[in-house]
Amino acid sequence: MTEWIYFTNITSSITGWRLNCAGIKSLVEETKANSSPLHIADVCFSHVLYLASISHSSRLHFSCECVRIRASEVLTGFPSCDKNRLRLSSTSTVFLLRHGLKMCNTSTKQCSCTNLFASAWLSKKQAALILGMAIVSVVILAASYFYVIQIRAETERKHEETFVESPRPHIVFILADDMGWNDVSFHGSNQIPTPNLDALAFNGIVLNKHYVQPVCTPSRAALMTGKYPIHTGMQGRPMYGSEKRGLPLEEKILPQYLKDLGYATHIIGKWHMGYYKIDYTPLKRGFDSHTGYWNGAISYYDHILQEVEDETMNGHDFRVNYTSAWHYQGKYATDIFTEEAEHIIKHHNASKPLFLYMPHLACHAGNEGKWLEAPQEAINRFSFIPDPNRRTYAAMVHKLDESVGRVVSALAERRMLHNSIIVFVSDNGSPIEGIFKNYGSNEPLRGEKSTLWEGGIRTPAFVWSPHLQNSSRVSTQLMHLTDWIPTLYSAAGGDLEDLPKELDGYDMWTSLSQDLTSERGELVVNIDEIKEYGAIIFADNSTSDSQTLYKLIIGKPHTSNYFKLLDLQQSPKYSPETLLNSEAHTAIKKLGKTSNNSQELDAKTIMKLRQEATVTCSPMEEVTNCSGLCVYDLTKDPCEQNDLSQRSELQSLITTFKNRYDSLFKTVKPQIPIIMDSRANPAYHNFTWSIWEMS
């Protein structure tokens, strides 16, 4: 017997989604394999007469154009059926043909546009009989719906009564893209208020000396592997969509380590570590689900990546697991990621530890003609900013901050917040010039994305958790992206002896929690053996007063004249009340005594912490480039204005630094060759960026 596919529980309320008939088949197959991420459950019926409203004297005509119609609306798929409209349950969503139904055989998984009534004319009696059956079916469906709701409510009530807490903390890691040091208000900027980020930062620990890689793919590789990119061959340029390259498969990565501890693992957002073969994709590397994109950037509304290298390529890059999610087109990417995070948290079994990795699109630029995008109502909040591009960028940051607040609230609603660790980091500094310029600000730090200067590698970062013993402070402990694997593994109760000895990261959990001296004595910014430049930061503890950070730069990095690029003066005064009334702070405050904050946040405390987290430097119209070898005292000169390489009293120390650099250079793994492959062209894959090489 031919069965019918009936789709339900699609949470999005977007109407007018069109899907070709071939797409139905792939959706059915994907649904059966991965129902949870799509929020779709399929139920088969021997007939679905209750779905149709039949005219008394009209022949049914079929086409292969499918339309998604919200069940809360009157079914208007049959233009001639105005007299016999039907309403469905408000929670149901069905796929209909423009003038009929889609017939799918679930045993063969074949779909075809078939005339249910074999082109027969319907008599009034037949039509009335069918309509009667339809009405009865709707009544049954409605009754079933209310019964299910009642059962669900009872189940949720029992669940609340038998709530079992996870033995390990839930971990939410939020990675911003191309956000500058000066684009968050917890670093002293007034122009773009970030109350939710500020609330987490000032209730937690501001990581004022947290370092990343100069560009995005290497930063993600460092975070995921716990190794410097020079030790995985990932230290070069960001990955293009048509490259036959990826994070080496022999590398175990963060979600796999956490899975060893029993974590459920989800990624929402950007991957950017390879996908030309399926084995490089997130679901093959430890993640249970992925909603987002595989490449480095997409437009915020149409989710298209345009790539211009050897040839121009354009394609859609947004998916749920392996299925292209065209139905999200037209919806703002940050909102999609936020809603998916809320859904995952809401439906997560809180007795099992959760790892939620959120590498956002914001604040990366999109495609030509759509470089910067944000909802107009968000842009309108920043009418005081004269530059329209900076105004849009501010709105993008605002939406990101709003997203963070909603995620914190979702954790609180599920009674998971008091047992959570939330980390926020930007993958690199803002690109203040060039093709992907996003009008961010790294001031007063020198440099930008893609450079070895502080503006490219020292970014906004914090960690928040009730499990921190000494919080509400600004940390100057030296820290790097590679530290997060051992740090989170330790915080989750894992045995550090189980981690590979060749990791470059350090366990910082105890140091951070108890405000102890950083375990780190040095930090490799990068060594590029092809461009022949690199940088290392060294911690000198020889003085009795405090730790001094020195930075050694070898080669010829980019020149950066960075002052007065943006007018940041026209800004409202910072308001601590905005933080205190934020969604994140409201949720944190309700934790009460479960939090280990060393001080209660009030306006005075907020302003004190904000001052401590602010970097100030003397203005300088121009800066000279570094050529050959330069040394900077980052403790006294965080903006790298004074080269100390010729100071006689430092020559012995500089020789030690140089010898260490030479030693590390010998450990560099050659960069993975960049091979562009025209087979990746989305034109060959239904205009989507897709896997193009079978293993």
Give 572's DSSP letter: P
- 208 burial level (CB within 10 Å; 0-12, 13-18, 19+): buried
| pLDDT tens digit sequence for 232-279 | 999 999 999 999 999 999 999 999 999 999 999 999 999 999 999 999
Give 87's DSSP letter: -
Residues 380-400 have a mean pLDDT of 97
CA distances from 572 to 192, 380, 471, 607 (A): 9, 15, 28, 15
| pLDDT tens digit sequence for 13-69 | 222 223 333 444 444 454 444 443 333 222 222 222 223 222 222 222 223 333 333
User: Which pLDDT belongs to residue 106?
Assistant: 37
**Distance (Å, whole) CA 178 – CA 449:** 7
Residues 210-237 have a mean pLDDT of 98
Across 505-543, b (16+ Cβ under 10 Å) vs e yields bbbbbebbbeeeebbbebbbbbbbeeeebbbbbbbeeee
Q: How many other CB atoms are found less than 10 A from the CB of residue 620?
A: 15
| pLDDT tens digit sequence for 297-338 | 999 999 999 998 777 899 999 999 999 999 999 999 999 999
Contact 531, 543 (CB under 8 A): no
**Distance (Å, whole) CA 509 – CA 220:** 20
Among 482, 633, 563, CA closest to 182: 563
Instruction: Please count the CA atoms within 13 angstroms of the CA of 656 that sit on its side-chain side.
Output: 11
Residues 440-465 have a mean pLDDT of 96
Across 471-499, b (16+ Cβ under 10 Å) vs e yields bbbbbbbbbbbbbbbbbbbbbbebeeeeb
Of the residues 104, 111, 216, 363, which is catalytic?
A: 216
- Indicate whether 627 pLDDT > 70: yes
Confidence tier at 361 by pLDDT (50, 70, 90)? very high
User: To the nearest whole percent, how much of the chain has pLDDT over 70?
Assistant: 73
**Distance (Å, whole) CA 58 – CA 76:** 15
Model pTM score: 0.78
Q: Show the beta-strand stretches assigned E in 504-563.
A: 522-528, 533-540, 548-555
Contact 495, 501 (CB under 8 A): no
3 state SS of 367: strand
**Distance (Å, whole) CA 539 – CA 546:** 10
**Distance (Å, whole) CA 392 – CA 185:** 17
The CATH H-level superfamily of 170-665 is Alkaline Phosphatase, subunit A (3.40.720.10)
Residues 349-376 have a mean pLDDT of 96
Of the residues 210, 266, 272, 327, which is catalytic?
A: 272
User: To the nearest whole percent, how much of the chain has pLDDT over 90?
Assistant: 66
Contact 600, 588 (CB under 8 A): no
- Locate tokens 């759509």: which residue? 370
Q: Which residues pair with 527 in a beta bridge?
A: 534
Give 64's DSSP letter: S
The answer to whether residue 272 is catalytic is yes
Please report the DSSP string for 608-639 in residue order: HHHHHT-------S--PPP-EEEEEETTT-TT
- Indicate whether 124 pLDDT > 70: no
Element (H, E) at 468: none
| pLDDT tens digit sequence for 144-168 | 566 656 655 665 555 554 568 899 9
Instruction: Please count the CA atoms within 13 angstroms of the CA of 161 that sit on its side-chain side.
Output: 6
| pLDDT tens digit sequence for 80-108 | 333 232 223 333 333 333 333 333 333 44
**Distance (Å, whole) CA 291 – CA 37:** 8
Hey, where are the domains in the chain? 4-161, 170-665
**Distance (Å, whole) CA 589 – CA 418:** 11
Q: Give me the sign of the Cα torsion angle 68, 74, 76, 80.
A: positive
Among 233, 549, 592, CA closest to 412: 592
The answer to whether residue 630 is catalytic is no
Peptide bond into 626 cis (omega under 30): no
> Which one is predicted more confidently, 567 or 412?
412
| pLDDT tens digit sequence for 541-584 | 765 457 799 999 999 877 665 554 555 666 889 999 999 999 99
Q: How many other CB atoms are found less than 10 A from the CB of residue 607?
A: 12
Q: Which residues pair with 356 in a beta bridge?
A: 172, 266
Q: Show the beta-strand stretches assigned E in 181-330.
A: 205-207, 210-211, 264-270, 289-293, 304-308, 312-316, 319-320, 323-324
422 phi, psi to nearest 5 deg: -120, 125
